[in-house]
Amino acid sequence: MIVQTGKPECFAHIAGADYLGLKLDEEICGYCAIQIHEKTASIHLVFKKWTPSVFRESLKDWKIIRNTLKIRGINKIVASQDNLEDKKWERFIKHFGFNDVQIVKMAVQEI
């Protein structure tokens, strides 16, 4: 079940997002932050607990989130991972419909 939450500590670095809790059996199992830029949404996920039940519920919740974004006029959703060698993440994200995984170059500057 998806519930509206305040900004969780795990997303301290994210500004201007909508924050959702992923709830199962009255317990928040994970968080989702959604940032919208024009017609593109960036999704940030953090799971506190991971079980087969949490996975199944997350797939149901994802359909609701996706349909809600589509109704709001969003036509692209971006999910990212900073570890390019993580094949496990690539398999995981495909369950949510992200079939075209691409490597993207970016520049990072520490300040």
Q: What is the pLDDT of residues 50-104, one digit of tens each?
A: 899 999 999 999 999 899 999 999 998 888 777 777 788 888 888 988 887 777 7
CA-CA distance, 77 to 28, in Å (whole number)?
A: 23
CA-CA distance, 107 to 10, in Å (whole number)?
A: 23
Domains by residue range for the chain, with CATH: 2-80 (3.40.630.30)
Model's pTM, two decimal places? 0.74
- pLDDT at position 23 is 87
- pLDDT at position 67 is 92
- pLDDT at position 71 is 92
Q: How many residues in the chain? A: 111
- pLDDT at position 74 is 92
| Contacting residues for 62 by C-beta, under 8 A, at least 6 apart | 96, 97
CB environment 29-57: b (16+ within 10 A), e (fewer) = bbbbbbeeeeeebbbbbeeeeeeeebeeb
